[in-house]
Structure 1
Amino acid sequence: MRVLDARALGRATLARQLLLDRADAPVLDTVAHLGGLQAQEPQEPFVGLWSRLRGFEPTALSDLLTGRRVVRTHLMRRTVHLVTAEDALSWRPRHDAMLRGRVLGTYRRELEGVDLAELAAAGRAVMADGEPRSMSELARALADRWPEPGPRALGEMLVAALIPMVQLPPRGLWRTRAGVRNAPFTAWLGREPDPPAPPGTDPVGETLVRRYLAAFGPAASADLRAWCGLAGLPAAVAAVRGELVALRDERGRELLDLPEAPRPDPDTPAPVRFLPAFDNVILGYHDRSRIIDDVHRGLSVTGARVVLVDGRVAATWVVEDGTVSVTPLRRLARADRAEVAEEGRALAAFLSDGDGDRVRVGAAPP
């Protein structure tokens, strides 16, 4: 069985994630290919797409949001993701149990004794007037009936788990600051999510396996679970295993992959790339070592924006007074610093609509 070292895995990941070469692809197709983009910070997906697409225009994503072809919704890992409307409608029922379980894991004591079916029906009745609401507005509308849990527990259970909801524009539009206003799938997309599959079948799970490997493979089953948050996928993996190839990493873990998916030569040059906060190229794995050193693993969950140098996290970046400011995590070679500065100037121009290209690359840590 072929063994892939960390560098080979990293290059495969970069190729699947469109980070080796920017792609000439429509934004909608790219969001679908990536299996969505984590979007709890509304402006971050724009940087993620800029780093992956040649000539990316932010208005293209904004138009997809207002045109109801891409939506912001709670999905994988109970986090807000930007996904195609088609995927949201298809995938949401497969995530329902996980979403409920994760909200209960946070608010089990507050929600003890609450009949969730009754709560869901009451929430749907409130939203039936077609008016979008914030989480707190929806919770307050039901507080007289369920005073004990408190608005946070009620609101999160309703919006993140019990009622498939979309976060409406203008939230998530380019250069727009707006609060969260929620509407049910039926109100925004015109129909309910697809019905659950018959018992004993898992077509959505099988699709998730294939789609994950296309965007993140080669990967272990634990990586798949870390990406989507779903525990019940072994049967789906088993169902499609005959379509897949089996590989191993240097530690002996079995990795699965699509036979024809790209696995570039480990020596393929990897350009500098600036990634947004919470990018799935890092969060989408249980074993994140193919992209980020264990000593820096915490950066991936604290919202740090990172810079890839030779395919690995080597710096963080922020925007300060219109300047892209880069802080290296290790000493960078002169050529790497020059490439970081060049890509940083391009990012600064993108973020300022071409009005500036200021970048500052700090000193390496001692």
Structure 2
Amino acid sequence: MTVLDTRALNRATLARQHLLARSDSSVPEAVAHLCGLQAQEPQEPFTGLWSRLSDFTPERLDDALTGRAVVRTHLMRRTVHLVTADDALAWRARHDAMLRQRVLGTYRRELAGIDLDELAAAGRAVMADQQPRTMTELVQALADRWPGPPRRVLGELLVAALIPMAQLPPRGQWQQTAGVRNLPLSTWLARDIDPLPTDGDDPVGQQLLHRYLAAYGPAASADLRAWCGLAGLPAAVKAAREELVAFRDERGRELLDLPDAPRPHPDTPAPVRFLPAFDNAILGYHDRSRIIDAPHLGLSVAGHRTVLVDGRVTATWTVRDHHLHISPLRPLTTLEREAVHTEAQALAAFLDDDIEHIRLDAGN
């Protein structure tokens, strides 16, 4: 079985993630290909798409949100994601059990004794008037019937697990600071959520596998599980195995992939790219060594924005006091510094945030 080293896996990931060359895809096409963008920080997907799409402007994502082609909703890993309307409706039922389990795992003591189906039915009844509500407003309407649990916990259970919700614009629009207003996903999109099949098959699981490999492969089953948060996908992997090709990484793990997916030569040049906080190019794996070194793994879960140099996380960046501040994690060569500065200038022009100066530190 062919062994793919870390650099080969890195270049495959960059190619699948549109980080080797910017794509001409539309926003909905890109969001669909990427299997969504993690979006609990509402402004971060704009940088993620700017780094991946040619001639991207914020209006393109705004139009997709207001036009309901893409939607903000809790999905993979119980995290707010920006996904296409089609994927939200097709994938949500397959995630229901995981979403409930993760909320209960966090708040088991506070939610002890609550009939989840009864609570969900009551929440849907409140939302049946098709009026957007904040989480606080929804909980307030149910407080007399469930006075025990902390309202924040009850609200998180309702909007993140029990009732498939869309977070409505202007939340998630460019340079907006709007709070979260919720509406049932099927109401916002005027379509029903796809039900799970009753014959025991798992077509959604197989679709998730194929779509994940198209955007993240080659990858191990543990990587797939880490990305979506679903534990019950071995059957989907088994059913699709004959359609896939297999490799091994340098640790001996089996990696699965689509036969015709791009796997560029390891020496393919990789341009500098600025990634937003919580970018799935990093978080979409159990083993993140293909893109980030072990000493820096904490950056990927702490909300640091990162810079890829030669395809790897090599710096962090932030904007404060009208400065774009870049902090390398290692000393950069002269050519690398020039490339980082050039891409930083383009990013500053895109952000249009009254950025007056780009500061590139020396590096550790």
Structure 2 Cα separation of the partners of residues 36 and 192 of structure 1 = 20
Describe how 1:158-307 pairs up with structure 2 within 5 A: 158-307=158-307
- Which residue type is aligned with residue 167 of structure 1? Q
Contact 2:51 2:275 in 1 (8 A): yes
CA contact (8 A) 1:32 1:83 kept: yes
> 1:308-364 CA distances to partner (integer Å, 9 max, x unpaired)?
0000000000012332110011111110011000000100000008x7573110121
**How many Å separate the matches in 1 of 2:43 and 2:26?**
19
Contact 2:168–2:183 under 8 Å retained in 1: yes
Aligned to 1:148: 148
- Asked if the contact 2:324–2:355 (Cα under 8 Å) also holds between the matched residues in 1, the reply is no
8 Å contact kept, 1:143–1:150: no
Give the aligned partner of residue 125 of structure 1: 125
Partner of 1:350: 350
**Contact 1:220-1:254 within 8 A present in 2 as well:** yes
Q: What letter matches 1:168 in structure 2?
A: L
How many residue pairs end up in the alignment?
Answer: 364
Question: How far, CA to CA, are the matches of 1:191 and 1:177 in structure 2?
Answer: 28
Is the Cα–Cα contact under 8 Å of residues 171 and 180 in structure 1 kept in the other structure? yes
Q: Matched residue of 2:289: which SS?
A: helix
SS in 2 for 1:157: helix
Q: CA shift at 1:130, angstroms?
A: 1.2
Deviation for aligned residue 1:252: 0.4
Structure 1 CA distance for aligned equivalents of residues 104 and 136 of structure 2: 18
Are the counterparts in 2 of residues 330 and 364 from structure 1 also a CA contact under 8 Å? yes
- SS at 1:288 equivalent: coil
- Please give the TM-score of this superposition, normalised by the length of structure 1: 0.98
- The residue number in structure 2 matching 1:319 is 319
Segments of structure 2 that go 5 or more residues without pairing to the other structure are none
Q: CA deviation at 1:186?
A: 2.4
Task: Name the CA distance, whole Å, in 1 between partners of 2:292 and 2:3.
Answer: 20
Show the counterpart of 1:67: 67
> Structure 2: which amino acid aligns with 1:363?
A
Which structure 2 residues correspond to residues 28-107 of structure 1 after superposition, within 5 A?
Answer: 28-107=28-107
Cα offset for 1:199? 3.5
The 1:15/1:357 distance shift into structure 2, 3 A limit, reads: farther
C-alpha distance in 2, partners of 1:75/1:324? 32
Which residue number corresponds to residue 359 of structure 2? Answer: 360
Q: For residue 358 of structure 2, what is the amino acid of its counterpart?
A: V
CA–CA distance in 2 between the matches of 1:178 and 1:43? Answer: 11
Indicate the larger mover: 207-216 or 189-198: 189-198
Structure 2 CA distance for partners of 1:357 and 1:198, relative to 1, 3 Å: farther
* 8 Å CA contact retained: 1:324, 1:345: no
**Aligned twin of 1:18:** 18
How far apart, in 2, do the equivalents of 1:87 and 1:244 lie? 22
- Structure 1 gaps of 5+ residues are none
Q: Percent of aligned pairs with the same residue?
A: 72
Structure 1: 4+ residue segments shifted above 4 A: none
Shift of 1:136: 1.6
CA deviations over 1:256-295 (Å, ceiling 9, x no partner) = 0000000000000001000000000000000001000110
User: Structure 2 vs 1, CA of residues 15 and 93 (structure 1 numbering), >3 Å: closer, same or farther?
Assistant: same
1:163 aligned partner, one-letter code: I
CA contact (8 A) 2:332 2:362 kept: no
Return the TM-score normalized by structure 2: 0.98
Give distance in 2, aligned partners of 1:251 and 1:357.
Answer: 46
RMSD, aligned α-carbons = 1.0
Letter in 2 for 1:67: G
Which whole-Å CA distance do the structure 1 matches of 2:230 and 2:341 have between them?
40
